[in-house]
Amino acid sequence: MRERGEAGVIVGVPKETAAGERRVALVPDAVKSLVGEGLELLVEAGAGTAARFGDEAYRAAGASVEPDAKTLYDRADLVVRVQPPSDAEIEALRPGGHLIGFLRPLDQPELARRLAERNVTAFAMELMPRITRAQSMDALSSQSTIAGYRAVLLAAVALPRIFPMLVTAAGTLSPARVLVIGAGVAGLQAIGTARRLGAVIEAYDTRPAVKEQVESLGARFVELDLETGDAEDAGGYARAQSEAFYARQREQLGRRVAASDVVITTALVPGQQAPLLIDETAVRAMRPGSVIVDLAAEKGGNCALTEAERDLEVHGVTILGRTNLPSEVPNHASQTYARNLVTFLKHLVRDAQLHLDLEDEITRGALLTHDGRITNEAVAALAGAPEASSGGDS
Ligand code: NAD
């Protein structure tokens, strides 16, 4: 608690305005925890409604519920969000104020430039270092976990068969065969969820380190004849491979795709378009009624036929290209995201005031803009390049 009678940082939680977004940045339990630290919480009326957290619960947790976003933006020192702010919302942020949220730094560097021009100190949750100390602040992981789970449920509902093997008086039903391509956080959760539903699972990832994790979840790791020695960068992420590599991968994976009832693809390389891993020939070879859930849809998709935000049927195969699966499970997705934010906020706050230690690996790592400039080198390079703002393709 504060000792010096100084007012605590005012944190604002606006209602999300992006189309289809049902999550909220802080849930009532998170508000209560921050109020306990001496922070003042302003929550826009209805901010948690779509995630099933009512205004009354926020009031009971110690927040002041504001009738509109304007009051909140005018007063808040720090705004916490799920999705990036719109242009109007950037204009509403106070110069010298703070912002935390998913800010798509590598995909939308121009947003970082606008935040810097507005002199907002912004932290992008995507930039949170993936180190053990920051695990509880890792919102990419918390939301990917929900996405991996949801992907399996969508597939199970779309598939005209059941997942588990059943031996009944009416005959034996064979289990669904699920292939997971990309076994990072979402892929591993998809494996675990499909396994609990009784499917037989195979998985592939270019990072060889993943094999053991896949097998420990009871899935078979698919071995391809590809050289993957340099597949992982120092941060644990996949490196981009050559087009020749992807062509060979497509060819070899095609056989596994054709043998699967469900394919869940999650393969991503940070800052790049998603690698194309399933071509139209492979889709044609699948049995009618098979399902592909393409979690890489927002980055162009791992399947050539995926269309972002659309549920399609092509060559008898259902292809789901939804881009915001965590928002389809808004209550738990918000709860885990809020937990990430609270841990990060507690890291930034001392005596109810913000203390930004720019030497600290976590604070510096997540920092996107500060003092009127873009602090992340990679994003600054992208934002400065003429093609980044003119819609060029590099
Ligand atoms: P991601 O969402 O960027 O990518 C998803 C997966 O796709 C990755 O496993 C990647 O290797 C894989 N992939 C990329 N190209 C592929 C291809 N051509 N074929 C098949 N698979 C391909 O990754 P993520 O899930 O966010 O996790 C990335 C890494 O970060 C993982 O190693 C994870 O264990 C690690 N991580 C560490 C921490 C921590 O230490 N705090 C926390 C979270 C994640």
Cα 25 → chain centroid: 13
Identify whether 255 is a catalytic site residue: no
The best mutation among 237, 246, 264, 336 to test binding of ligand 1, ranked by most ligand atoms within 8 Å of the C-beta, falls on 237
Note the pLDDT of residue 392: 36
Which secondary structure element, helix H or strand E, spans residue 173, and what is its range? strand 171-173
Cα 334 to Cα 81: distance, rounded to the nearest angstrom: 11
pTM (predicted TM-score):
0.94
The atom of ligand 1 lying closest to the CA of 209 is 32
By CB atoms closer than 10 A (0-12, 13-18, 19+), residue 79 is buried
Cα 145 to Cα 80: distance, rounded to the nearest angstrom: 21
Cα 322 to Cα 66: distance, rounded to the nearest angstrom: 32
Residue 376 pLDDT exceeds 90:
yes
Cα 41 to Cα 58: distance, rounded to the nearest angstrom: 9
The best mutation among 127, 140, 142, 205 to test binding of ligand 1, ranked by most ligand atoms within 8 Å of the C-beta, falls on 205
Q: What separation in Å is there between the alpha carbon of 204 and the centre of ligand 1?
A: 12
Identify whether 195 is a catalytic site residue: no
Identify whether 135 is a catalytic site residue: yes
Note the pLDDT of residue 6: 66
Flag the least confident range among 109-113, 266-270, 344-348.
266-270
Identify whether 237 is a catalytic site residue: yes
Q: pLDDT for 225-280, tens place per residue?
A: 998 878 888 777 888 999 999 999 999 999 999 999 999 999 999 888 999 999 99
Q: What separation in Å is there between the alpha carbon of 237 and the centre of ligand 1?
A: 5
Atom 23 (ligand 1): residue with closest C-alpha?
A: 184
Nearest by Cα to 269 from 248, 246, 252, 292: 246
Q: Summarize the confidence of residues 349-373 as an average pLDDT.
A: 97
Q: pLDDT for 64-75, tens place per residue?
A: 999 999 999 999
Would you say the CB of residue 183 lies under 6 angstroms from ligand 1?
yes
**Residues 135, 174, 216, 389: which is the catalytic one?**
135
